Structure 1
């Protein structure tokens, strides 16, 4: 991959694949060109090297948009290492960045639990969990429509991955958006939303305005929405926490008939289908049943489908081999298949969704009918519904429960959109090749702590995480030394050790905002707690500077505090710069200076000169929040960010 000093300008909006591959293979172009120039090229990558470069760029594309060249260079180097290509990572680190110093740190290796060649976009902007997602075509463009507990409905261009216009909100609309469905009515693209306050609202996606007054009827949350055409009328079918299913005429904005009752508790899922000339709605709820309704008559169609053993959270329909099937999932960890004509289960059920099925959608890709299923553990799995076998590896970029999923075909690609508890929607290409690169697998949940040790002449890192495991890594090679073992469990507190007055002591950070010093031999606390933070202190480290034993702590307020352990007094004013809570700390010696390194939820590691009480150089930026930090031999930084682990060393 050449490094061009003067990348070819991006002038042609439809360049030939060979030109695209040449640009994407130019690492200097990836670092220096504006994301608005690079991102349109990613879909047109064809060669293996260019496709890998595109995958590396996409991994943190949402961060590149607002980053300087130096930060972009560092993120690209980190993500190349996450994809398993250390040579590419090193070459990216060596690229000059305009107006910035040479990179001071290189990435020796990193795990890649959260990288995948099928990933396309991350849609960020909501400030609360994303509860629902749908797609619509507006002015010839395919958009994603997401609803959130932050009280907004947002539109996203699926070609660029960027938000399209301002959010759809009302001044007095503060209720969580639980459900959304889209349709075209009288030539207008519309969205129908359901709120936690029981209201159903209709929005014009072209004008971005509410069409009419809210439709009131549900007592409690509106949990799910589907649309259907019945006897020439376009209806919205809504389900509620109150156990009812309601029909609304979207032309007259009035209810159709009486509420459909039968579920004895909340109804969490709905889908519509046409079978033998009748339009049906399928609903699933807390009563562990799937009920089928004739939307014209308002009557229940046959007996309920009764084989689940817990709440039914997801319902979809699909036509396979001439049969109309229902696919249902719930908190009993099972995915079931039903022939709607015979009311019988259609083949084997699928197990393996530990924690349950929270949402599902179907799609046809390369002639195969697939189910895309979101789990409460943050995993998205794809199943071939004909063979009942998984397709590829699970999609694992989410770090919290997946609440909504939908599929859409655009530009010849079948995309899956998955939304989660963290307020993020991710876009996947279900037609993509197998994931690129050979990333090292890591933890499956947040990394909470890191420490290092010498073992048989090798420096190893030990990491613990919320997945309940402790993992041991060879710091030089990045290879795990052993299989995961049960560790200390989730939420490991910050702790470090030092020597004070000739005694080994432990220094701990606490959720009550204090730093405490303990005699390792007796287990007794030494003196009063060091109390300086209003909230918890979770990052802590120690160092010896000018003959003084110092402790460095950080917590929820983002400040870094330095303490004299002998006098129990703070040293100087708190060090500021982090924009979110500080979760990790370590100390190291660089060029004869004793530095503190602190890691934060703002996705940075900052270095501080403890003698001068000031920050050293720009922060190191990571793709995910930094929650764990340690220093290995040779001054190498071992960093836990998200579920990943990386080792960085001075260039």
Structure 2
């Protein structure tokens, strides 16, 4: 979905052809997809059979089948995916159009998959030179020798007939030749490179085509690696690393492939230690475990340790280990042969080399190899130094044993200086570089930071010299050449040596300053990609992240996915911390282009009071100008679920604290709470997932989930695979928790069948049924009582019961709640374990489980309390509770006093739990608003804008007061307020309603513009906007003051009000729960007419001109829009099409014709011709009920704005149906257009956005 596409076809009448482009609008059934066209030239008949090109995949992904020649979506098309076409037409050889491979290799993976060594950018930079034993691909010769035992082990493992879910790990000390061995395997598996080997090469070779994908990890993230493998397999590119394994399984299973071997080298050189571990946990292990049965295997090359510690410990004992340091995989003759080839400079021979004579060279090579202590890098440095510079053969006794540092030092002493810099300093500058390396311009800049003045020409000449290029590798990125040291051991050696004389933080500080000075020229618009991608690492090590975070132009262009994790763990000043909060609360901006990033940041900055505006002079399609809202206190918001989120819990996965959530969308999702990124989706339940918890099984952490489908399921959180299904409950399963019984971990579940059940999670066998409750059992938890583990359960029968899980006997009943008990948990108070319970009576109660007596009653919630949990803050244990009142509250369990209220959710809060993020305890809450929110419970109460609304704003309208247009807002806080739309300054508060105010509109009464408001108190009131007082009718006798009598509906609240002119007379139309529309004379405030016909609540009314005649449109919960003749009161037309309640309606002019736009809970906006009643177009895109629409005129174009509970505003082109999405971070309830700004009524206040689209 939303992937870009491009196609070229030959439509009728265009013999030279034409192209079209757009996005994939929907995945249809049977392998088809809908193509939404966005280009000026659209898809027409004549495109059929054309390939659908994906710019992201750089491949043809489908074939156009049919263009929409007319109707609402003229120019769109449907296409069949290439994968489906190949399956449906197996004999048509359609796979050839994808051009996934440039060579045929029989049944080999090379011919089957989308990767080839020839097209891999790492081939020249890494695989080919490593395989030949040289530093750079431009250097001639084949110096790799031997390693037969290791090569044989790897080749045999790749070719074995039955993969067994194990991983092969190739390891060894720095310089031992890991990359050379893997390079040999990868290159000899390539038919073209295999054919180029010397005839004398009789060493072990990989089977042609046996490597389907090779990834050099240096400087890459886990997502980078996952994307490379996905491209190789021709599957959808993942947005998270954990998406790879399931997608690869489906691809291989469908293709009935024989083998898909993946080689991953330099794992320890990923961008950081965390990414290296993510590659193991999210890619390597899941692919090996999940995809082995369909032919996938993984070989990994890595050191044993990196900055994060032991890497190999993450691989299970059953995996295959090729340790090049061991005697089994080392042969002295291999090292001697390599040393001899290097000493003779094979392939790049030097005239006058005294070692050209093999009889002279052989003993020297043998001596060097013996002294190198099995290290190929040391042997290579020593041998190359002698081969390059010796005039006469070195005496054997002059050769001494050297480690890497000493060998490198001896080699560097012979290298010439580079300008004012010694060769060692020039190379040290590269050691500071992040992958993929520095251009000569950046290299020069880094050197300037280290105090050397070198020009670009000197650096180029140095890098290309035969002596230096043994240490330097180069690559191309676009037209730029990048340089870095070819071996990590060289980086380590040079940096260690530099650190003995200079503090690394000081060096990085000077480097950072120099790079920032270069990049900030032209406001970063022409900055080298390296600076946007890797400068944060330099700044982090220098302690200068503040400088980057406060540089607006940099943040608009930087790789924020790399910057944000570094900033989250840095010691920052307050201003920089505000910027980190801005980034964290604007997830859509992390991957947006600069213009959209500026727009997105402006919205968050306005909502959160994080400055007057972000990059105010940078062009943007829209920009927030002001907001009057409650600032959020959330740490972050996790969005992704498409249904209510019913449960959440922390879970430890391979040493990382993740968060699991369960939802009515039938999924369990895993999140990284540090970044807010979704890690994995666990799918399998056939009903809403209602509960989730971790459970230890044989030393492994699994996840247990309970569901409406009557089951408990066990999942491996590392792979996402379902492990077991526990069946026994006869109705929905509502809760699950682990409990230790006689040193065995069992699983307890509770259900609407009134039982608690105990299970053995290892076998899936039911152990015991605990019966006694007379209603649904809502929750269950273990609690320690006098050193014995009991089980506490809470039920709709109003009780909490304690059970002995060993015997199944009921121990005690805690009775005190006056309604359903929905939550229970243990909490330690003054060294005593108490039991906290919460329920439908709105209270939290503390009990002594030993005596069964109630200890304390906690009151404060204004609705049912759905969850409780203990949380430890600064050594104090507090109690957190979550409620249907939308809040999370913190209590002191010792005193019963409420400590804090966390507001932000816009629906019931179902659960709350603590989660540790970067050493800080946060609270996670899950809600029916489809979000999981993280809170810092120590940050205090939510802050509100002084004078602003204190609750949801339900409607907005414009009104002209003394020639000046003001904004009127109606709120759940029972007030109407007037605002200056330019500045957001509040002008006046109109107070008088006794319930929420749902709508406002201007109305002219006796030549004076008044404001009408509709309310839940059942009235429509008139206000004088100049004075803020309720309108009083004028009398013929000035000394008589007549109080205004509100216009009142007989039953229920009034939802809508609008003014309408009938035969030159202004009336007010109102609508409410009665299903009627009422017409009032605002002068007399007497009812003139009642319009009846709707069969549900009427949500909105508005006038619409049809053929010069003013009609009234009304929208209702009955799913219809109706048009009324106001002169006669007769219903003129009923517009049917919506499948749920219709929330709002407004007129919009399209191509000089007035249409009617309606918005509904069915998530659509529909355009109608009010003359004929025919539906003209359906606008789809919102993922929640659409609550507001209004026309917007920009530069002569009429657009349609909409706001929804999905927390977005969208701008639609009513002619084409295309739209732009603006995240609001709040539910949108109303819209008003003033000048070039649209003001949105939000669940938290008001937001004004200037449109520049």
Counterpart of 1:74 in structure 2 is: 599
Q: State the partner residue of 1:156.
A: 671
Task: Structure 2: state its 5+ residue gaps.
Answer: 1-516, 998-1014, 1017-1052, 1057-1098
Aligned to 2:10: none
1:111 aligns with 2:628: yes
Structure 1 residue ranges without an equivalent (≥5): 96-101
Give the Cα–Cα distance (whole angstroms) in 1 for the partners of residues 821 and 1168 of structure 2. 52
Q: Which residue of 2 aligns with 1:604?
A: 1209
Q: Does 1:353 align with 2:861?
A: yes
- Contact 2:839-2:864 at 8 Å conserved across structures: yes
Deviation at residue 243 of structure 1 after TM alignment: 1.5
Question: What SS is found at the alignment partner of 2:669?
Answer: strand
Paired position in structure 2 for 1:318: 827
Q: Output the CA distance in 2 between the equivalents of 1:439 and 1:28.
A: 32
Paired residues, what number?
A: 621
Which residue in 1 is equivalent to 2:20?
none
2:643 and 2:1154 map into 1 onto residues whose CA distance is 43
- Secondary structure at the counterpart of residue 71 of structure 1: helix
2:1239 to 625, 632, 638: 638
**Structure 1 residue 33 and structure 2 residue 542: aligned?**
no
Q: Does 1:243 align with 2:754?
A: yes
- Correspondence for 1:330 among 839, 844, 858: 839
Pairwise CA RMSD: 3.6
Q: How do 1:356-505 and structure 2 match up within 5 A?
A: 356-392=864-900, 394-432=901-939, 442=949, 444-445=951-952, 447-455=953-961, 459-464=965-970, 467=972, 469-476=974-981, 477-479=984-986, 481-482=989-990, 485=993, 486=995, 487=997, 488-489=1015-1016, 493-497=1099-1103
Q: Give the conservation status (yes or no) of the 8 Å contact 1:450–1:462.
A: yes
1:352-393 superposed Cα distances (whole Å, 9 cap, x missing partner) = 21121011111110122112211113222222223323333x
For 2:598 and 2:830, how far apart are their aligned partners in 1? 51
Q: Is the 8 A contact 1:534 1:557 kept in 2?
A: no
Cα contact 1:474–1:481 (8 A) shared by 2: no
* 2:1129 aligned partner: 524
Bigger shift: 546-555 or 640-649? 546-555
Shift of 1:644: 3.8
Relative to structure 1, is the Cα distance of residues 433 and 583 closer, same or farther in structure 2, using a 3 angstrom cutoff? closer
Q: What is the deviation of 1:307?
A: 1.2
- Among candidates 141, 146, 149, match of residue 661 of structure 2: 146
- 1:265 deviation in Å? 1.0
What is aligned with 1:98?
none
Cα distance, 1:140–1:548 mapped onto 2, change above 3 Å: closer
Return the alpha-carbon distance in structure 2 between the equivalents of residues 15 and 247 of structure 1.
Answer: 50
Give runs of aligned pairs for residues 98-247 of structure 1, distance below 5 A: 102-103=619-620, 105-113=622-630, 115-117=631-633, 119-165=634-680, 167-170=681-684, 173-212=685-724, 214-247=725-758
Q: Deviations over 1:620-644 (max 9, x none)?
A: 4433454421124x44322124444
- Contact 1:198–1:220 (8 Å) recurs in 2: yes
Which of 44, 58, 69 aligns to 2:570? It is 44
- TM-score by length of structure 2 reads 0.46
Structure-1 separation of matches of 2:829 and 2:599: 48
Secondary structure at the residue paired with 1:391? strand
- Cα pair 2:975 2:989 within 8 Å, conserved: no
- 2:585 maps to 1:59: yes
CA distance in 2, matches of 1:425, 1:559: 28
| 1:13–1:623 Cα change, 3 Å | farther
8 Å CA contact 2:950–2:973 kept in 1: the answer is: no
Rate the CA distance shift 1:163–1:108 in 2: closer, same or farther, 3 A: closer
The 3 A distance-change label for structure 1 pair 219 and 496 is same
Mark the CA change 1:570 to 1:194 in structure 2 (over 3 Å): closer, same or farther: closer
Residue by residue, what CA displacement relative to the aligned partner does 1:215-237 show, whole Å, maximum 9, x if unpaired?
A: 33322122212222222111222
CA contact (8 A) 1:227 1:234 kept: yes
Asked if the contact 2:1168/2:1174 (under 8 Å) is kept, the reply is yes
- 2:1225 aligns with 623
The more displaced of 235-244 and 14-23 is 14-23
When residues 386 and 32 of structure 1 are mapped into structure 2, their CA distance, relative to the original with a 3 A threshold, is: farther
The 3-state SS of whatever aligns with 1:259 is strand
Q: CA–CA distance in 2 between the matches of 1:430 and 1:229?
A: 31
Q: Which moved more, 1:11-20 or 1:289-298?
A: 11-20
C-alpha distance in structure 2 between counterparts of 1:539 and 1:13, whole Å: 53
Mapped contact 2:1163–2:1180 kept (Cα < 8 A): no
CA distance in structure 1 between the aligned counterparts of 2:871 and 2:612, rounded to whole angstroms = 36
Match of 1:88 among 612, 617, 625: 612
Q: 1:282 to 1:22 in 2, by over 3 A?
A: same
The answer on 1:584 being equivalent to 2:1188 is yes
Distance 2:1153 2:574 in 1: 55
Quick one: structure 1 residues 546 and 138, their matched pair in 2 at CA, closer, same or farther if it must change by over 3 Å?
Answer: closer
Contact 2:944 2:950 in 1 (8 A): no
Larger-gyration structure (1/2): 2
Q: Whole-Å Cα distance in 1 between the matches of residues 906 and 675 of structure 2?
A: 23
Aligned to 2:1086: none
Q: Secondary structure at the match of 1:395?
A: strand
Distance of aligned partners of 1:250 and 1:546 in 2 relative to their CA distance in 1, 3 Å threshold: closer
In 1, Cα distance between equivalents of 2:1120 and 2:690: 40
Report how far residue 53 of structure 1 moved.
Answer: 2.1
Q: Is the strand fraction higher in 1 or 2?
A: 1
Contact residue 599 and residue 606 of structure 1 kept, 8 A? no
* Structure 1 residue 58 displacement after superposition: 2.5
> Hey, what's the Cα distance between the residues in 2 that align with 1:139 and 1:431?
28
Q: How many angstroms does 1:440 deviate by?
A: 7.6
Structure 2 distance, partners of 1:534, 1:324, is: 52
Q: TM-score, normalised by structure 1?
A: 0.84
The residue that corresponds to 1:341 in the other structure is 850
CA–CA distance in structure 2, aligned partners of residues 639 and 69 of structure 1: 24
